[in-house]
């Protein structure tokens, strides 16, 4: 997921939108027995994801892209379930 912007007067919480987008992104991994997530994630975003319940493992050296540290990580279904068990319901239509 890249950057996104939401108008202040839209009435949509950016945190809720982020959680929904992340839940939708990992849903296919959760639904498949053998799937894994492999991603490059901004180090600041990775901290947020850990707080939200993602369990990840770093799989390589971080790289600076445009002054932002980017970390290669992977996660199994088990690592994602901490997040998905809390926020998977956001995949349902509003």
- In tens, the pLDDT along 52-83 reads 999 999 999 999 988 889 999 999 999 999 99
**Assigned domain for 81 exists:** yes
Q: Above 70 in pLDDT, residue 4?
A: no
- 5 located within any domain: no
Q: Which domain holds residue 24?
A: 12-91
Phi and psi at 70, nearest 5°, equal -115, 130
Kindly state whether residue 2 falls inside one of the protein's structural domains: no
Q: Is residue 46 part of a domain?
A: yes
Predicted pLDDT of residue 80: 95
Structural domain contains residue 85 = yes
Q: Is residue 43 part of a domain?
A: yes
Q: What is the CATH number of the domain that holds 24?
A: 3.40.630.30
CB atoms within 10 A of CB 36: 12
Domain count, the chain: 1
66 DSSP 8-state letter: T
pTM, whole model, 2 decimals? 0.82
Q: Is residue 6 part of a domain?
A: no
């Amino acid at each position: 997921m890249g950057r996104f912007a939401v108008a202040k007067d839209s009435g949509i919480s950016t945190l809720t939108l982020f959680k929904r987008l992340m839940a939708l992104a990992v849903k296919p991994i959760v639904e498949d027995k053998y799937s894994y997530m492999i991603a490059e994630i901004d180090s600041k975003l990775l901290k947020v994801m850990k707080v939200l319940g993602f369990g990840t493992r770093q799989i390589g050296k971080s790289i600076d892209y445009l002054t932002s540290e980017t970390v290669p990580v992977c996660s199994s279904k088990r690592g994602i379930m901490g997040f998905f068990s809390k926020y998977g319901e956001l995949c349902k239509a509003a």
